[in-house]
Each structure stands twice: as C-alpha cells, then as structure tokens.
Amino acid sequence: MTPITFVRETLRMAAGDLAARPLRSVLSMTSFAIGIAITTVLVSMGNGLATAVGQILKSMGEGQIAVTPGRTTGIGGQRRSGRPIRLRYHDVENLKFPPSIEGVAAYFDLRGGGASSYRYSISFSPVRAVDGDYLGVRQLPVIEGRWFSPLEESEGRWVTVLNEGVRKIIFPEGSAVGQWVEWRGRRMTVVGVVRDEANFAYMLFIPYRTVSEMADGRYISGILARPAPGTPWDKAIADVRRTLSGLAAFDPADVQALEIEDNSKFTGQVAAVTTALHALVFTIAAVSLLLGGLGVANMMVIAVTERTRELGLRKALGATPRGIFFQILCESLVILSVGGGVGILLGALACASVGYVPMSVTYRADVRFDLESALVSIAGLAAVAILAGTIPARRAAALPAAEALRWE
C-alpha cells in the first residue's frame, strides 16, 4: 500500500468511526470550537484594551510636569500665612529654561460659562487660554481642522479649538470647523478639534491674548513643562522650581510655593496594569485552550476503551499497530480541523458583533479579529489534544489481539 493510499484509507476509516458516534463527535468539536472562539475574542479584546490604554495615557500628558502657583511657607510652617505666588504671562513667556526642559506652555482658565452652537448647547464648558507652545508640550492629536496660527495668536483673534467631547455635544451632526460657538456672549470661529483626555471633556481652547477681553489674564493659572528625552524626573522638577523661584522670588526648597504634579509614577502604574491585563487575558485563554484539548483527549480515551473489542478484531483481520495508531490519531485531527474552523468563524463573528468597548467619552478599545492569534490558539490547542490523544492511540496499537477479543 502506498503512503498516499494509506493516509486516504486511514482518514476514511477515522471519518467513518466519528460518523458512527455523531453525538460524541459533535460535542467534542463544539467544545473545541468554543475554546478557540473564546480565546480569539479574549486576545482581540486584550490587544484592543492595551492599545486604548496607551492612547489615553499619551493624551493625559505622558511625560509632562504640571505646575500650579501656590503660597510660600509662612510663620510656623503654615501655608495660609504665606505669600501667594503670582506669575505673569509675559514673564513666563520670555523666561529661559535650562536644557533639561524641552518645552513650556502657560495657560489661563476661565469658568462659569456654557458653549452653544446654532442649534445645541451645553450648560458648563470651561475655556482655557493657551499660548503657541501648548500643543507641542501636550502633544495633543488634532482630529479635525488645525491649531491656532501664529497670526491668530499674536492678534488675539476670536477663534477656538474644541475638545472632542464638547464637539460631539454641540455639533453632533457634522464637522465643527468653520462653524461659530458662543461663550459668555462672545462668538468664536471653530478652527479645529483636539482629543484631550487629561482635561474636562467639554473644554474650549482659545489664544492666550484673546482672553484679555474677557478677564485679567496677566497672571497665569498654571504651567505645563515637558522634560527633555533622557532627563530624570527629579532633575527636571528641580530645574523648574529653581527657574521659577528666580522669577517669583521664593525659596526653591519651599515645596509649598509651587504645586507640582508629574505622571512618572502614574505612567509606571499604567504600564503595570497593562501588563497584568495581558497576563490575565492570556491565562484565561490558556485555560480555555487546555480545557478544550482535554475534552478531545477524554473523548478519545473513552472511544478507545469502548472499541477495544473492535480494535482487537481489526488486528486479528490483519490491521497493523501503526494503522491502528494513525487511525485513532486521525480521528483527533478531524475533530481539531472541523472544530478549529468553526471556532475561527465564531470568533470572527463575535469580534464583529462586539465592535468596540467604550473606554471614555472619546476613546474606545477596538475588538478586531486577529487571524494570527486564532491560528496560534489552534496550534496550542491542537498540541494539547494530539499529545493527549497519542496516549490512547499507543495503547490501542499495543493491545494484543487475543486480549482485545476477550474484552467485555
């Protein structure tokens, strides 16, 4: 018998034996398919969550230092008795920071107003006046239109860039660029939309010089600083304190003079959470694969035990141990092939039906079917099932014909 004929006959006999026990075969294929589908969905969802978390982290100000003026330490170490720190915008604008600081952006916050368009409105929507360096320091993605031009900034024109959250509220039906927004009775032309998760979702950004017509913006609300690549956080913070202390005449060692927040610890925590999330997803997927493989192996053990007499009769009629071994193994492979194909199809349909998982007002985790992960899952599950199926196959091949024929 040629190898091709041997393989063909072995597969035919394996398929016939599986068809003779339809309920058990269907249940085994179903358990295998469900394991593949669950693993595919979990891995796809885990990858989507990790990507979304990384995007949110970047938009929340990854690698930046937030500085808010405070009060100097007063008599008896009391903060309330100290002198308030006030920083002028023009002084900060012309201030030279050391090379450890890559960029600095001052801002001024306005509250107490709501934004409205020609049709929709929101009752509370703060305004942040920013300078030209703000976009670069924050590294915000511009998703529609553009940022302020230098001419618009220098002339203090009535233009605005919306955060994506407020854009969805007051312009839900189309693009906001080129439309007008009213805030405190002032109409501003929308030139762009950004995605900023660190701030209030319904915030508007305007050029810093524009705010002078609405409030006293001589003194800033805060500063954002971005350390140069490779600069330790402690050094960057110390340089910011020392530079601003010369401007506002306070002791750089006075920690109450400036409220400084950095996200170095937060960055590490998010990375740890993302790693733990991946570990959890892959652990659950591995357990699902293992259970599916053990299900197939269990079915094959039972099938061999129930067919001991049949296998002995085949041996008595001339079947070789190798033929018996490959027949049992081929039955496992048929279950793996059919169940794996169905599992991939179910996983793809499940990913398409889920689509995405909302993470925030503007971010979502896309659940995209990953064929590579599905194939890896099938390979892992097949290895478990084949390894476990080899044991009953070897047992059946080694069973003496005389002993098998006496089996009851």
Predicted local confidence at residue 57, as pLDDT? 62
Predicted local confidence at residue 101, as pLDDT? 92
189 in the same domain as 46 = no
* CB hemisphere CA count around 35 (13 angstroms): 33
- Single residue among 262, 280, 314 that ends a domain in this structure: 262
* CB hemisphere CA count around 278 (13 angstroms): 10
Helix (H, G, I), strand (E, B) or coil at 299: helix
Give pTM, 2 decimals: 0.60
Cα–Cα distance between 234 and 245 in angstroms, integer? Answer: 16
Contact 129, 108 (CB under 8 A): yes
Q: What percent of the chain has pLDDT over 70?
A: 73
DSSP line for 323-366? HHHHHHHHHHHHHHHHHHHHHHHHHHHHHHHH-EEE-SSS-EEE
146 in the same domain as 39 = no
186 in the same domain as 213 = yes
- Single residue among 230, 262, 294 that ends a domain in this structure: 262
256, 257, 260, 265: CA torsion to nearest 10: -30
* pLDDT confidence tier of residue 166, bands split at 50, 70 and 90: very high
Predicted local confidence at residue 73, as pLDDT? 85
* pLDDT confidence tier of residue 242, bands split at 50, 70 and 90: very high
> Which domain does 355 fall in, by range?
3-58+269-405
* 138-162 per-position pLDDT tens digit: 888 899 999 999 999 999 999 999 9
Predicted local confidence at residue 192, as pLDDT? 96
193 in the same domain as 139 = yes
CA distances for 341 relative to 336, 345, 352, 405, angstroms: 8, 6, 17, 38
- Single residue among 203, 227, 262 that ends a domain in this structure: 262
Predicted local confidence at residue 346, as pLDDT? 85
258 in the same domain as 148 = yes
* 310-352 per-position pLDDT tens digit: 666 776 777 777 777 777 777 777 777 787 788 888 888 888 8
345 in the same domain as 289 = yes
119 in the same domain as 229 = yes
* pLDDT confidence tier of residue 35, bands split at 50, 70 and 90: confident
284 in the same domain as 400 = yes
335 in the same domain as 365 = yes
Please give the backbone phi and psi of residue 182, each rounded to the nearest 5 degrees, phi first. Answer: -110, 135
214 in the same domain as 77 = yes
| Domain count within the chain | 2
**pLDDT mean across residues, the chain:** 80
Predicted local confidence at residue 178, as pLDDT? 94
H helices within 156-195, ranges in order? 164-170
Residue with tokens 């889920």: 354
Given a cut of 80, is residue 36 above it in pLDDT?
A: no
Predicted local confidence at residue 385, as pLDDT? 61
Given a cut of 70, is residue 300 above it in pLDDT?
A: no
290 in the same domain as 193 = no
- CA-based nearest residue to 184, from 112, 255, 242, 79: 112
* 69-87 per-position pLDDT tens digit: 998 887 655 656 678 999 9
Cα–Cα distance between 291 and 137 in angstroms, integer? Answer: 50
Q: Cα 109 to chain center, whole Å?
A: 31
165 in the same domain as 130 = yes
Cα–Cα distance between 303 and 94 in angstroms, integer? Answer: 83
- Strand 159-163 versus strand 186-194 pairing type: parallel
